[in-house]
Structure 1
Amino acid sequence: MSADNQAVSFVHGGNVHAWARERGSELAGVLDYSANINPLGLADSIREAVTKSVSQVIHYPDVQAVMLKAAISSYYQVDSEYITAGNGAVELLYVLTHTLRPKKVLIPAPAFSEYERAARAAGAGIEYAYLSPENNFAVDVSTLCSRLNGVDMVFIGNPNNPTGTLLTASQLEHLLAAASQAGIIVVVDESFMDFIPGAWEYTCRPLLKQYDNLVILHSLTKFYAIPGLRLGFALTQPALAARLHAAKDPWNVNSLAQAAGVAALADKHYQDKSRAVIHAEKNILFASLKALPGINPYLPSVNYILINIGQTGHSAARLCQTMAERNILIRDCSNYPGLSPYYIRVAVRLNEQNKILLQHLEQVLR
């Protein structure tokens, strides 16, 4: 189904500044479940690296981001010439679409809205492949392969946001092979991959040298809790990486973000603790949400949970407003193509915070 003539609303979670302005409040007063950020917060190693680097802001950042790329290369086992550093992964979405200028893109829906927004900004038309709630929003690779005719680019969130669905690399390779024969670019967004223990089964990084139509996007802001710094990267074969580098602002990644990335990727203690805590807490939160009246959560793979609240008597907009009045922000997912006005998303936070969320949800729903 084409989306070319549909009105589109691009809204994101995590807008704590708007919440504070509306209430004349400080940010410390809000519990933000609308943005999927690591609840452990800023690692001491990153804080120290940023603090030490402040004096370097009198100089331009390293255009080649050599130390950052070396850290990415070592941690993710990818050669440096495959890496394009970005001011967040979203910046590279726009650089990619403006560089390649696809005429039509295919997006399984619901999905992260910036895929569509970046494609439209480059003049592309949109085709949705709607995912079924009855099938837990699972992505059917065979269906996507059958929809490739007339498409120049495909976007896949893996894990997908907001549904949390996850494909293995072997499943995605079927799509890559079919798309490669037709000269179609496949963009796999792995921005939440760091949250998954044993992610090697799911990441497409081992396929980079085999498929020149593969682009992997990766955010470092979510797992390392630095969304205000903006940091991400793209992985592509070197020829396309060179084109992307030439198409972007040469100083797109500032000195503090580069230092933060180097420190983050070296902090194994923070990485291991984050995965262990979030893996445990997402299971506890999922089970607790299922016990609430009218709540139908979808099994999470990472640090967020999509919820159908259609049986509660509340719309997503109404519930979000009621919870915001209690200083708790949750994500209204009604603007996602493919979702009704009865879907919300909540992040996975620490146990004591999750108990507060559950207490208020129960009060509102009962």
Structure 2
Amino acid sequence: MLEVYGHGGDVESAALRYGLAPGQFTDFSANINPLGPPPGMLEALRAALPEIIRYPDPGHRALLALLAERHGIQQKAICIGNGAAEIMALILLALAPGKVGVVQPCFSEYETLSRQFGAEVHAVYGTAERDYRAEPTQIVQLIASSDLVFLGQPNNPNGVQYEVEQLRQLAKAAERHKTYLVFDEAFIDFIPAERRQSLLPELETYPHVIFVRSMTKFYAIPGLRLGYGIAHPHMVAAMRSKQVTWSVNILALRAGEFSLHAGSEYEAATITAIAAEREYLRAELVRLGCEVTPGEANYLLLKLPEPWAAGSMQEALGRRGVLVRSCAMYPGLGESHIRVAVKDRGANVILIREMEQVIGGGQG
């Protein structure tokens, strides 16, 4: 398998395996905005290069002010980190939970980080009939028996959301049981605003709810690493107390500031492009015999037609310069599940063409 380090986007491992240069792959294993960074960002970063001779602002003040304005919240309710993964680590360090609950299938870092910091991990499972969502009553039971619960919204790898009334049910359970509930909203920006299911506007109502956001996916800056958490100020203060000074570099901060100044045109263009290309990919993958989960984010979970397994498809496509994410190792999924990013039309046509040739060749 290609996921040597547990994640997609590892073009270096692919290059060693398949004998191609990292830049020669069409990478569907990482879910990054196909439009690339907002127009003008690269020029702005070049202009900022002389700033690397000094330390970044340890208080992240300029970006904090912009994020607070964007969300209409206090700056002290925001913690900026070196990607969403650092925010998750800071939550675990601040709370030191003994028992962590996860809703499988889900982002592997929930369990990996929790175990790294000494927690027991318990799970409930979504079902294919519910597009791999779990029953809310199951999640409530998980909340009751855990110190902290992670829930993807939309979830990775299936890209589905829970309805906001269900989220309220879970948040109320978290308050009753004094359990912290983390909504990972790393991909929510790819969903049209009117379709986003989030309790963020109700932040003040739920002191035990924490939101995790990523800027690396939507603004296409994964190499810089930038994310943030939103929670009640006492929780944010606890997270910041565990943060390594200068964990967010100065170019990442500048990229975040530029992104929030980029304007609504880029954001609207991204959402429109993702919706159109996701539907194109879904229809073409169904035509090839795949079962596709109706996700709303910038990736699709699919079950390959028999006799194909995720590993053999990943290998066959990798030799052709196309990378996909095997989901065979996700608890709650099967050997034939893969995830593909939604990219631009040219790249999506390449994926469908190569998959069609591989499936037609019958190498499963």
Q: Do they superpose with TM above 0.5?
A: yes
Report whether the alignment pairs 1:104 with 2:73: no
Mapping of 1:289-308 within 5 angstroms? 289-293=285-289, 295-308=290-303
Instruction: Name which of 339, 350, 353 aligns with 2:344.
Output: 350
Q: Deviations over 1:33-79 (max 9, x none)?
A: 00000011122232122112111111110011011111111222222
| Residues 189-215 of structure 1, C-alpha deviations (whole Å, 9 max, x = no match) | 000011011157412211211111011
Which segment is superposed worse, 62-71 or 264-273? 264-273
Paired residues of 1:10 and 1:117 also in contact (CA < 8 A): no
Alignment partner, residue 4 of structure 1 = none
Contact kept, 8 Å, 1:153 with 1:187, in 2: the verdict is yes
* Mapping for residues 21-60 of structure 1, pairs under 5 Å: 21-60=16-55
SS in 2 for 1:345: strand
Give me the TM-score of the superposition, normalised by structure 2.
Answer: 0.95
Matched, 1:335 2:329: yes
Task: Indicate conservation of the 8 Å contact 1:231/1:261, yes or no.
Answer: yes
Structure 1 gaps, min length 5:
1-8
8 A Cα contact 2:125 2:133, kept in partner? no
Q: Does 1:257 align with 2:252?
A: yes
Unaligned runs of 5+ in 2: none
Question: Which residue of structure 2 aligns with residue 278 of structure 1?
Answer: 274
SS at structure 2 position matched to 1:336: coil
Match of 1:122 among 105, 108, 117: 117
- Cα distance, 1:24 vs structure 2: 4.4
Match of 1:3 in 2: none
When structure 1 is superposed on structure 2, of 70-79 and 186-195 the one drifting more is: 70-79
CA RMSD of aligned residues (A): 1.4
Bigger drift between 140-149 and 27-36 goes to 140-149
Which of the numbers 10, 18, 22 marks the counterpart of 2:13?
Answer: 18
State yes or no: 1:203 paired with 2:220: no
Partners of 2:20 and 2:286 in 1: how far apart? 33
Q: TM-score, normalised by structure 1?
A: 0.94
State the identity %: 35
Alignment size in residue pairs = 356
Mapped contact 1:152–1:184 kept (Cα < 8 A):
yes
Give the superposition deviation at 1:139: 3.2
Q: Deviations over 1:111-153 (max 9, x none)?
A: 0000011111111111110111122212322221133333101
Structure 1 residue identity aligned to 2:143 = L
What is the Cα deviation at residue 278 of structure 1? 0.7
Letter in 2 for 1:329: L
Using a 3 Å threshold, how does the CA distance of structure 1 residues 157 and 205 change in structure 2: closer, same or farther? same
| SS of alignment partner, residue 208 of structure 1 | helix
Of the candidates 349, 352, 364, which is equivalent to residue 358 of structure 2?
364
Equivalent residue number for residue 141 of structure 2:
146
Aligned-partner SS, 2:143: coil
In the alignment, the residues of structure 2 paired with residue 355 and residue 200 of structure 1 have an alpha-carbon distance, to the nearest angstrom, of: 27
Aligned residue for 2:122, secondary structure, equals: strand
CA distance in 1, matches of 2:355, 2:261: 38
